[in-house]
Amino acid sequence: MTVEHELQGDVVLLTGMSGGGKSVAMHALEDAGYFCVDNLPAELLLDFLSLEQQRGERRVAIAVDVRSAGSLPLMLPLLKDLRGQGVAVRSIFLDANNDALVRRFSETRRPHPLRMDRDTSFGSLEAGAEDGHRVLLEAIQLERELLGGLKAESTVIDTSQLRPAQLRAWLADLVGPNAGSKLTLVFESFAFKHGVPSDADFVFDVRVLPNPYYDRELRPLTGRDAPVAAYLAAQPEVGLMMGQIAGFLSRWLPNFAADQRSYLTVAIGCTGGQHRSVYLVEMLVRQFSHHGHVLKRHRELDAR
């Protein structure tokens, strides 16, 4: 069975790690007007989309995770087949590092869906439950392996450091009215002391640039404030670094677009994610505004 090219409604395939934020994301999509279906078996995907086509234009979000482990091998070929037919399916993968996933299972006390037997609770991480902790990490690793193919075909959002409100906002940007088939370019500032975003395609370290933090008057401000911007704009090294980053992206963006990439994340990091990285992201977003769908994120500032 095939789905015809004239399918008009948006189709979002939401997948990712257990504990990665799928429930928050599904609620956000529902609030955005999507008809959401959770844990749909791959065997029913084409029939479901065909039925939706008959009903008329409607935005649809389908969540798939390891609870349907038996049908996961079918999902990747189906996704490629749908895209080959011209159906615009946006696949979004919610990821998080192991520490964040372990912490979330500990806080919610819920079992991991890949538990090896009915007597072992992967969510039980109380003092002395070393075996439970070890088995939880094994389950997370197994889940990563099972979902590796889908992740490679998806837009990845690293939720390790994100609050629910941030995830909802970032997801709204991804599926908003300006999001289309053209390559989406994302600039994200971050603090190295809180870790590098795992969803970054390119990471630029700007910690070598002059730091406004050491100016007492600039310290409480951010790279979005005029005094900080003026300070950094006056530093030759800053202009040189920004020009080299922009030159690299300008040279290679057409190649990424030609490779049918739908999403490219450029992460700019400094020590605290407050001054230098924020300023460069703001400037780069302005410089590449002509590109089309350009998003900006300030991971540390957005979390305040």
203 is in an annotated binding site: no
For residue 232, the SS3 value is: helix
Assess whether 47 and 68 both reside in one domain.
Answer: yes
Q: How far is residue 120 from each of residues 110, 113, 271, measured CA to CA in Å?
A: 11, 11, 41
Query: Total domain count for the chain?
Result: 2
pLDDT digits (tens, 9 = 90+) for 130-170: 666 788 888 999 999 989 888 988 889 999 989 898 898 88
Assess whether 156 and 24 both reside in one domain.
Answer: yes
The whole-number pLDDT of residue 274 equals 97
The domain that contains 34 carries what CATH number? Answer: 3.40.50.300
Distance CA 117, CA 248 (A): 51
23 is in an annotated binding site: yes
Distance CA 211, CA 219 (A): 9
Lowest mean pLDDT among 77-81, 174-178, 256-260, 276-280: 174-178
Assess whether 17 and 87 both reside in one domain.
Answer: yes
Distance CA 30, CA 60 (A): 9
The whole-number pLDDT of residue 198 equals 86
148 is in an annotated binding site: no
Handedness of CA 113, 124, 95, 117 (dihedral sign): negative
pLDDT digits (tens, 9 = 90+) for 190-200: 999 999 998 89
Residue 261 has pLDDT above 80, yes or no: no
65 is in an annotated binding site: yes
Residue 246 inside a domain? The answer is yes
68 is in an annotated binding site: yes
151 is in an annotated binding site: no
Residue 85 inside a domain? The answer is yes
Residue 126 inside a domain? The answer is no
121 is in an annotated binding site: no
16 is in an annotated binding site: yes
CB 39 within 8 A of CB 88: no
Residue 161 inside a domain? The answer is yes
| CA neighbor of 213 nearest in space, from 205, 202, 221 | 221
pLDDT digits (tens, 9 = 90+) for 270-296: 999 999 999 999 999 999 988 878 999
Assess whether 163 and 194 both reside in one domain.
Answer: no
pTM of the model: 0.67
189 is in an annotated binding site: no
Assess whether 267 and 146 both reside in one domain.
Answer: no
